Structure 1
Amino acid sequence: MVPAYDFWLLDLDGTLIDVEWAYTREVFDAVGDRLGRPFSDREAEVLWHGLSGSRDRQLEAWGIEPTAFWKAFHAEEDPLVRAEQTYLHPDAAFVADLDGPVGLVTHCQRFLAEPVIDGLDIGDWFDTVVCCTEETGWKPDPAPVESAMADLGVADGSRGVLAGDGSNDVGAAWNAGLDAIHVERVGHDRRGRCVLGDYRVESFDELAAD
């Protein structure tokens, strides 16, 4: 059965949902045109899924100024088109049946997250949604996780967990004193490394089988 926790926090992109590859490729083509620097399929995949950890550090390693990249990236993302191209992972349905408070902590910006959540009709799964910003902090910083916990009214001593698809999610969970579930959606071979967690699964269905 799913491990018993007093509250659950979850990442969004790559954890509960994903987008069709054609949309990702189209966005990176447009961003590349804006920056005068094309992105290979591998580079697009690494950035979209955060396979190397910090996206800003990865951009800098490639000689790309992060602020300029994100300005171009967000200018090219159309919330309605992204919502249409987004699908829910079937194993994510367990979230609807969780007992206790449930929150979302995502790097996806609110102008994109809200249409996606509405389009998939999963808004009632969550008691709070925290979209990371410069003000809230970015995972693995525990600040956005702690903000979500405050929104949920989590009592001291409550046992909680954060589930996500990246090392930043695991780091944020541990930094906030929570357990971490890592769900590996892309595979260790494509990621290029293993991500540790208190639970390591390829599907949330595996938790129910424990």
Structure 2
Amino acid sequence: MKLAIPDYPFKAYLFDCDGTIVDSMPLHFVAWGKALREWECAFAEEQFYAWGGRPVDEIIRALNEVNNLHMPVDEVLRRKEALFVEMLPQLQGIPEVLEHIEHSYGKIPFAVVSGGPRRSVEASLNTLGIRDRFDLLVCAGEYTKGKPDPEPFLKAANLLGIAPEDCLVFEDADPGIASAEAAGMQWVKIDSPTVRAAR
């Protein structure tokens, strides 16, 4: 299935990573479950997907608040990411997105704009052998406000030297789409594997 790209002469493509380029969300959910069980903290799958695109440290703080816990943010973040990296050999790409990346590579600049830590994003892209396709990565910890705030996408556009309205965003999660809209950018929604399989 090919992606439906808006008819506009875009000058840059900005991609979310998890759930957009790589089918990593199920692996991230397993890693979250293992890391949080060590602190007896629940994280429902529905809530996990609703918070897609939010930085990991922000999710841990929110879970602390919701569950009246005091999990050490940096420690839980490192543990969760380490568990995810262990599962990288299982990682698959999103076929239609990978196809579009290969088709468009070299024509306009690409950036990854992610709520994940740079180490995790780099590891995912390297696993698929596509790290070299991207001119720029903007990851968690490299901006002040995460998605749905427009800051991550606006920072990427600024670093690329491209006007926001000339950037097209590829996203799977509602917070990311809200971020793109707030940044004044058009977007393409990437359906989850479950939705794609049901078609």
**What TM-score comes out, normalization by structure 2 length?**
0.75
Residue pairs, 1:100-139, within 5 angstroms: 100-133=108-141, 135-139=143-147
The unaligned stretches of length 5 or more in structure 2 are: none
| 2:183 aligned with 1:180 | no
Residue pairs, 1:45-84, within 5 angstroms: 46-47=47-48, 49-50=49-50, 56=59, 59=63, 62-65=66-69, 68=72, 71-78=75-82, 80-84=85-89
Residue pairs, 1:186-205, within 5 angstroms: none
Determine which of 168, 171, 184 is the counterpart of 2:175.
Answer: 168
Equivalent residues of 1:31, 1:69 under 8 A apart: no
SS at match of 2:23: strand
Change (3 A) 1:120 1:186: closer
Per chain length, whose mean CA-contact separation is higher, i.e. which structure has more relative contact order (CA < 8 Å, sep 6+)?
Answer: 2
How far apart are 1:62 and its partner, in Å? 3.9
The unaligned stretches of length 5 or more in structure 1 are: 189-201, 204-210
Change (3 A) 1:149 1:87: same
SS at match of 1:17: coil
CA-based RMSD of the aligned residues comes to 3.2
> Which residue identity is paired with 2:41?
R
Change (3 A) 1:135 1:163: closer
> Which residue identity is paired with 1:146?
L
How far apart are 1:69 and its partner, in Å? 5.7
How far apart are 1:74 and its partner, in Å? 2.8
Which of the two has greater strand per residue?
Answer: 1
**What TM-score comes out, normalization by structure 1 length?**
0.71
What percentage of aligned pairs have identical amino acids? 22
Please list the CA deviations of residues 151-191 of structure 1 after superposition, one character each: whole Å capped at 9, or x if unmatched. Answer: 2121x475221110111111111111101222221667xxx
Whole-Å Cα distance in 2 between the matches of residues 29 and 2 of structure 1?
A: 38
Which residue number in structure 1 is paired with residue 151 of structure 2?
Answer: 143
How far apart are 1:44 and its partner, in Å? 3.9
Whole-Å Cα distance in 2 between the matches of residues 131 and 53 of structure 1?
A: 11
